[in-house]
Amino acid sequence: MTNVDLSRIQFAFTSINHFFFVPVTIGLAFLTALLQTAWYRTKLEEYLRLTRFFGTLLLINVAIGVVTGLVQEFQFGMNWGAYSRLVGNIFGAPLAMEGLGAFFLESVFLGLWLFGWDRLSRKVHLLTIWAVSFGSAFSAMFILAANSWMQHPVGYTMVNGKPVLNDIWAVFTNPVFLWGYAKVLFAALTTGTAVMLAVSAWQLRHGGDRGVFGRSARMSIYILIPAILFTMLVGDELGVIEGRYQPMKIAAAEAQWTTCQPCSFSLFQIGGGNNDQTPTEIIAIPHLLSLLATNHWNGKVQGLTPLNQQYNKQFGPGNYVPNVFIQYWGMRAMAYGGVLVLLIALWGLWAIRRKTLATSRVFLWVATWAAVLPFLMNTAGWLLTESGRQPWLVQGIMLTKNGVSPTVSVTWLWISLVFFIVLYGTLGTVDLLLMLKYSREQLPPARTAADADKPVPAIQY
Amino acid sequence: MSALVPFWFIVIAILWTGFFILEGFDFGVGMLHGVIAKSDSGRRAAINTIGPLWDGNEVWLICAGAAMFAAFPGWYATMFSGMYLALALLLGTLIIRGVAFEYRGKRDATGWRHTWDWLLTIGSLLSPLLIGIALADLLHGLPIDSNQNFTGSFWDLLQPYAVFAGVTLVLVCLLHGATFLCLKTTGEMLARSGRVARVVAPFTGAFVIGFIVWTHVTAGTAFFLNLIELLAVIAAIAAVWLTFEHREGWAFVATTITMASCILTIFVDLYPNVMVSSTSAANNLTVNNTASPHYSLTAMTVVVVVFLPLVLLYQAWTYYVFRRRVSESEFHGPPRPRTPADEDTGSPAPRLRPPSHRASHRKT
């Protein structure tokens, strides 16, 4: 394997792992803040117990999310030196802003929230969890702005063959960014809610407090329905925008080698991954791809072959087609997973109406396992986004193969790759086991009436 | 050259300095938590002195790295790709240290706790050592060609001067952490922290003086020490003296100044270079040949001017909120289980989790 392959594998591996924790953090921080707000307003003991219960799960995740994020930041310089040198003045700016503007907020206030239960007034303490929630979402904003610039570079001029930032506002109003960020926020909410639903469902199945976990199960279902709906709607619009700026990405997602108008969407197909072999479409829905990719019933979608010819003329000879297999199945994993999550959430709504939520063992079992889906969808979505950008590192500006650190040897890369796989594998396992352990613990006991006015003890290490 | 180029060099020096002032005592506490406490409750107490603070402190490192990326992409690219393996190892040590805080208390088993205690100690020792080596190498010089690419091997990083600087930094962190613990603990732990500080202090003082002289010679710009180098020497001597005088508060001030001036010495002696090339002085990376253009620097200046004071404000507030000492007695007994009966007796030990009554979880 070349240094380009190894650098890509390492970056993909660490990013995918990092993004297991990010959406849980953003989602659960928001939900914990909601729960604590409910406690603040109603003074109902159940909400306090839920806040502390899910706050603990949040904490286990944040720890590993933070440290894996550090790896992300270092890797640009370590593995992608030529890239960093070329675009640091643009891509680096949102990263620096993220640290100062968002990450400090999240980290400092998380410490205040955990340890400040008995030091701060109830109101100030409530504000600290909202600061954590806001900080984590704000963090993602800067990262998405940086990533979107790689998908659709804006706000720069070329000076001596190098892109130079000349409009920071354009970077933060990039349509790919606006829609991509909205999508990530809804996906994070979906993930956090699905985790909360799964934990509540497990607890209800195993004799956890019905009053309390019934409440959190209902709350997660009420939030999950709009969250997954908006994730899909925003994702659809994002597809249209990406189709405009990165037509290869969308064409590859449908394995569409020839230009079509109108275009059908295949539910499932065999073959068609390479060259011009004609795929066997199992079920094709007419006009659906046109709608998804262009918002028009009869919209035209350019095929991979003509696009490749056009790119060859524009950028010189080469193969500009991304991995079709990843695109095609990434797209479907995301779409089908989304539909499945929506159906499960609607099933839950129906169970709430029939007042069988806490007792329907089948639903509770399905809802527990449903938590796996958002993680698969998130990973599929990022594969679609990032692999679909290939062979470009920055669309139209730099090829991935030209972005690596020229002096980092294959030996170094093997060492670091194995090192990160072992490290992440171990910590990921520990994290998962701890999450499961704490998801299955009993709720914190309700405080006695005499304690109700005393400060709540801090969460300590 | 944009007038903001030197400004951003200063910002980066400040971010690194801030990181070491704050995370410096975290590293020290991490290394010492097993030394100053002989019981699990003591170790927990030691860790909880920095519990609410360490995460925010570590963000200074993230900001320093990101600021280098954005303001001096050439510097960031050469340094991070050249020091590849060392930085991968550093990431490893920072990761295990970070999760150790969080995870050690999450299971009530001796083996589990001991494992994380060891990882925390090793991670807290290796992190400042590696960063110290990395920063000192910037000044010492590494093989760098005319394309700003590092051409050496891993072993080129282990220059005697750089290793000495790394060890110095570890010693400063130890003394800084020990004096911090003197201010944050009570009883037997306080006494032990004081003893540790007095054992470490002479070594810290001697190494800081050695480091300053060696740095001065390596930079080779003038005969006399400059102000910041002098400050480091004076602060180090003061720190040793105050430690032996049992003036913990002032000793902590002195170790803070020692830490700050040691880090600043590297940056002051480096300027206007950012990475010295041992291949040829013509290949030196300087603030000018690595900086971002004026527009980027302007945009980021607005952000740093708005947000850095804000960060300082709320981070200072955190230190104020958690100013009180932590005592071992708060952590007696295992963190779990706690039954409602505990609460009736007014047990002072705050706990995270309730009992895990597995029996009641069985299917009905």
The CA distance from B135 to the nearest CA of chain A, in Å, is 15
Integer angstrom CA distances of residue A92 from A95, A99, A108, A145, A447: 5, 11, 23, 11, 49
Query: Residue B336: what pLDDT?
Result: 45
Q: Strands, E, within A212-330: which ranges?
A: 265-270, 280-285
**Do A111 and B56 make contact, defined as CB atoms within 8 angstroms?**
yes
Q: How many CA atoms lie within 13 A of B39 on its CB side?
A: 13
The residue to which tokens 């010693």 are assigned: B171
Q: List the single residue in B55, B65, B296 with the smallest CB-CB distance to A165.
A: B296
Residue B334 falls within a domain, yes or no?
no
Q: Does A349 touch chain B (CB under 8 A)?
A: no
Q: Is A71 in CB contact (< 8 Å) with chain B?
A: yes
Q: With beta carbons under 8 A apart, name residues in chain A contacting B51.
A: 111, 114-115, 460-461
Is-contact B243 B191, C-beta < 8 A? no
B350 falls within a domain = no
Cα–Cα distance between A224 and A346 in angstroms, integer?
9
Do the domain assignments include residue B336?
A: no
- Confidence (pLDDT) at A210: 84
Q: Which residue has the tokens 């090793």?
A: B122
Domain count, chain B: 1
Contacting residues of A for B295, CB less than 8 Å apart: 164-166, 168
Query: How long, in residues, is chain A?
Result: 461
Chain B contact for A407 (CB, 8 A cutoff): yes
Question: What is the pLDDT of chain A when averaged over all its residues?
Answer: 88
Instruction: Give the one of A78, A459, A460 whose C-beta lies nearest to B81's C-beta.
Output: A78
The pTM assigned to this predicted structure is 0.89
pLDDT value at residue A291: 79
B123 in a domain, yes or no? yes
Residue-level pLDDT at A456: 80
Q: Which of residues 327-346 of A touch B (CB under 8 A)?
A: none
Query: Is B27 a domain residue?
Result: yes
**Chunked mean pLDDT (size 10), chain B, 364 residues:** 88 95 94 88 87 88 93 94 94 92 83 90 95 94 89 90 95 95 90 92 94 89 82 93 91 94 93 88 89 92 93 92 84 51 39 40 37
Spell out which residues of chain A touch residue B79, defining contact as CB-CB under 8 Å: 77
Which of left, alpha, beta for A255 (phi over 0: left; psi -120 to 50: alpha)?
left
ipTM value, please give it.
Answer: 0.89
Phi, psi (5° rounding) for residue A179? -75, -40
Answer whether A239's CB lies under 8 Å from A198's CB. Answer: no
Structure tokens at B44: 């927990």
Domain ranges of chain A: 3-246+323-445
Grouping H, G, I as helix, E, B as strand and the rest as coil, residue A267 is strand
B56 contacts A95? CB cut-off 8 A: no
Q: CB-CB: which of A87, A112, A438 is closest to B321?
A: A112
Asked if A262 and A297 count as a contact pair (C-beta separation under 8 A), the reply is yes
Q: Quick: pLDDT tens for A19-38.
A: 999 999 999 999 999 999 99
Distance CA A252, CA A249 (A): 5
DSSP A339: H
CB-based contact, B359 to chain A, within 8 Å: no
Two structure tokens written together for A135: 């900080």
- Cβ pair B102:A63 closer than 8 A: yes
Span between the terminal Cα atoms of chain A, in Å? 44
Give phi and psi for B224, each to the nearest 5: -85, 155
Q: Does B155 touch chain A (CB under 8 A)?
A: no
Comparing CA positions, the residue from A246, A321, A329 lying closest to residue A276 is A321
Q: Which of residues 103-142 of B touch A (CB under 8 A)?
A: 103-107
Q: Could you tell me if residue B136 is inside a domain? A: yes
Of B124, B70, B62, B72, which Cα lies nearest the Cα of B96?
B124
pLDDT value for B355: 40
Rounded distance between C-alpha atoms, residue A172 and residue A152, angstroms: 12
B106:A109 CB<8 A: no
Chain centroid to CA B287: how far?
25
Which of these, B261, B253, B270, B255, lies nearest to B212 by C-alpha position? B261
pLDDT beneath 70, residues of chain A: 269-282, 450
In angstroms, the separation between the Cα of residue A49 and the nearest Cα of chain B is 11
Range of the domain at B72: 9-328
